[in-house]
Structure 1
Amino acid sequence: MATDGIEAVFLETHNWGKSARFFQALGFELDFATDHSSGRLRNGQGAYVFIAEVPEDHKPGMQVVLTVPDAEAFRPGPDVEVVTPFEDTHFGTRQATVRDPDGRLWNLQAPAGN
């Protein structure tokens, strides 16, 4: 089983409010905000952007998350290095990490319960 495309882009920021307003100015709408300086924004039916504020001493990162419809059915080929297998997350999904040939890490996300 292959991935179904891009699920989300996870961004870390030093200022949740400024980052959210930046994406809203680009046409994204706030889907929800948390009480700990993070939230999800959408622009149409495509991938969503999830932004989380990190401390000033932490370099903001970015991750692209690919959709996997069923974690149990996912069988990576020999060219895919699995760094971490699928595990349950605190936000109700299952995630795994794979490494591409150039060393970049990619997150895979599947629905919980699969």
Structure 2
Amino acid sequence: MTTGGIEAVFLETHNWGKAAKFFQALGFELEFATDHNSGQLRNGDGPYVFIAEVPEDREPGMRIALKVADADAFRADPAVDVVTPFEETHYGTREMTVRDPDGRLWSLQAPGKN
């Protein structure tokens, strides 16, 4: 089974408010905000962007999640280095981490079992 394209981009920031305004100025709409300086934005039918604020002493990171329709049916090709198998997340999805040949980590995201 293959992936279905990009599901999401996860960004970390030092200032949630400024980051959200930046993406809104680029045409993204706020779908929801949390009470801990994070939220989700989307522009049309494309991937969503989830932004979370991190402390100043931590360098902001970025992660891209690829869409998987069914985690139970997904079988990674032997050429794919699986770092962590699919696991339930606290936000209702299942995620797997894989490593590409250059050492970058990628997330595969599937609907949760709920």
Report the TM-score, using the length of structure 2 for normalisation: 0.98
Q: Which residue does the alignment assign to 1:14?
A: 14
Distance 2:40 2:113 in 1: 23
How far does residue 109 in structure 1 lie from its aligned partner after superposition?
Answer: 0.4
Q: Which residue does the alignment assign to 1:72?
A: 72
Where do 5+ consecutive residues of structure 2 fail to align? none
Q: Which residue does the alignment assign to 1:61?
A: 61
How far does residue 111 in structure 1 lie from its aligned partner after superposition?
Answer: 0.5
How far does residue 22 in structure 1 lie from its aligned partner after superposition?
Answer: 0.3
Q: Which residue does the alignment assign to 1:88?
A: 88
Q: Which residue does the alignment assign to 2:4?
A: 4
Report the TM-score, using the length of structure 1 for normalisation: 0.98
Identity of aligned residues (%): 75
How far does residue 105 in structure 1 lie from its aligned partner after superposition?
Answer: 0.2
How far does residue 106 in structure 1 lie from its aligned partner after superposition?
Answer: 0.1
Distance 1:2 1:92 in 2: 21
Q: Which residue does the alignment assign to 2:106?
A: 106
How far does residue 113 in structure 1 lie from its aligned partner after superposition?
Answer: 1.3
Per-residue CA distance 1:40-98 (angstroms, 9 max, x = gap): 00000010100000000010000000000000111111110000000000001100100
Distance 2:41 2:113 in 1: 25
**Which sits farther off after the overlay, 71-80 or 59-68?**
71-80
